[in-house]
Amino acid sequence: MVTDGPATGGAGPRLAELRTRLHVAPLPRPWGPDVPVLHVVEVTVVDSTGATGTGFSWTPTIGAGAVQSLLDHDVATAVVGGPVDPEVVWPALWAHLHEAGSGGLTTIAMAGLDLALWDLAGRRSGRSLVELLGPRRESVAVYGSGVNLHYPLEELVAQVERWVEAGFASVKIKVGGPDLGVDRERVAAVREVLGPDRGLMIDANQRWDLERATTAMAVLEEFAPAWIEEPLRADDLAGHAELRRRIATPVAMGENLHTVYRFRDALDLGACDVVEPNVVRVGGITPFRAVAALADERGVALHPHLLPEISGQLALTLARPCLVEEVEDASLTALGLLADPPPVVVQDGELRASGTPGLGLDFTGALAGAAGARG
């Protein structure tokens, strides 16, 4: 528990207000012709003492309006007047919202509130998120990542060269184009830049079916990928398990799994070697920690997906070291969404936290979208 006083009753602070604001952030390097912007729903909570906390929900292309509406109506109605401890609020709210779905829009919306409540707890106590959860290490390795399947080969190679120059010990690129020969050429070129000692991960972003994935990996395993990420539709756990039996490369998935139960199902089926929870898609820090505990219990590697300003802080508190993903020009900081310096610093391929109280996120109003603020 992270708040003063009991979870119920009048002794502790209560949640007095929840408000939202939609940000539409142009991507300096579009993720494709259909993904020129990302959507972030800023969530602010105010407790009965007047203290505030800020979190966010994140959805690149689809559903930002629905997420904001869910927060403004069903979430706010359920939580205003209640406790502010995120570990108390989360399970009750998830059960309340379950009729709208166990995951997806439901957990993405819940993440905005959960993150805001953790931020509130940190600000009220004067502690950073890392200090609240308990630091395990001072730094964590970062890998360079990009949504780059549409890049010409020369641009892809230049991106990888930037990552090497920045000191990243490993990188991740996209595969899954219509021509396997082109995929091979691109992976070969990247491996040549990296040399034998840097790690190379490849990500198909759900583009293959089982047979295509089997064929593709028979070709791409020549370049010693550390893992193949989301080779099949994320919902196809049985297919991932079968592919894992067929290939030598470790299988990574999890960015599109939304509950600890789906992660448990994936591990029970033998669907993956690596889990990659996205702190927003799973519903926030509270359920992320449950997924991390499950991974520890099963002895499975965990590497958080995207959002390094939060994922990096969480990585510093995990029982086992992991890698933090930084997509070029796509962090909250790079998108110009933060008014103050970010809560993490990446230098020479390592991430460290600044120690700012709470989550350390202060969103600027410059990029507020047409929907504006609500609350």
Tell me the pairing of strands 37-47 and 15-26: antiparallel
Residue 5, pLDDT above cutoff 50: no
Residue 128, pLDDT above cutoff 50: yes
More confident residue, 375 or 28: 28
Using alpha carbons, select from 162, 161, 160 the residue that is nearest to residue 174: 160
* % of the chain surpassing 70 pLDDT: 94
Q: Give the pLDDT of residue 364.
A: 76
| Lowest pLDDT segment from 14-18, 59-63, 138-142 | 59-63
| Lowest pLDDT segment from 58-62, 132-136, 218-222, 350-354 | 58-62
Tokens representing 191? 């491996």
* Third-level CATH fold of 131-353: TIM Barrel (3.20.20)
Stretch 286-297: mean pLDDT? 98
Q: Give the pLDDT of residue 340.
A: 87
Q: Which one from 23, 39, 172, 174 is the annotated catalytic residue?
A: 174
More confident residue, 4 or 339: 339
15-126+364-374 carries CATH number 3.30.390.10? yes
More confident residue, 373 or 18: 18
Q: Give the pLDDT of residue 375.
A: 58
- Rounded to the nearest integer, the mean pLDDT of the chain is 94
Q: Give the pLDDT of residue 365.
A: 60
Stretch 334-349: mean pLDDT? 94
Q: What is the pLDDT of residues 206-264, one digit of tens each?
A: 999 999 999 999 999 999 999 999 999 999 999 999 999 999 999 999 999 999 999 99
Nearest-angstrom CA–CA distance, 23 and 20: 10
Q: Kindly indicate the confidence band of residue 1, based on its pLDDT and cuts at 50, 70 and 90.
A: very low
Q: Which residues of 274-302 are buried (b: 16+ CB within 10 A; e: fewer)?
A: bbbbbbbbbbbbbbbbbbbebbeeeebbb
Stretch 272-300: mean pLDDT? 98
174 is catalytic: yes
Q: Give the pLDDT of residue 373.
A: 54
Q: What is the pLDDT of residues 168-201, one digit of tens each?
A: 999 999 999 999 999 999 999 999 999 999 999 9
Q: Give the pLDDT of residue 374.
A: 63
Q: What is the pLDDT of residues 298-338, one digit of tens each?
A: 999 999 999 999 999 999 999 999 999 999 999 999 999 99
In angstroms, how far is CA 164 from the centroid of its own chain?
A: 23
Residue 147, pLDDT above cutoff 90: yes
Domain assignments of the chain as residue spans, ordered by start: 15-126+364-374, 131-353
Q: Give the pLDDT of residue 2.
A: 52
Rg (CA), the chain: 20
In the chain, beta strands by DSSP E: 15-26, 37-47, 52-59, 140-145, 170-174, 199-203, 228-229, 251-253, 274-275, 301-302, 323-327, 344-347, 350-353, 368-374
Nearest-angstrom CA–CA distance, 240 and 204: 13
DSSP code string of 70-91: HIIIIIHHHHTTS---HHHHHH
Amino acid residing at 321: P
Q: How far is CA 175 from CA 194, 215, 234, in A?
A: 17, 13, 16
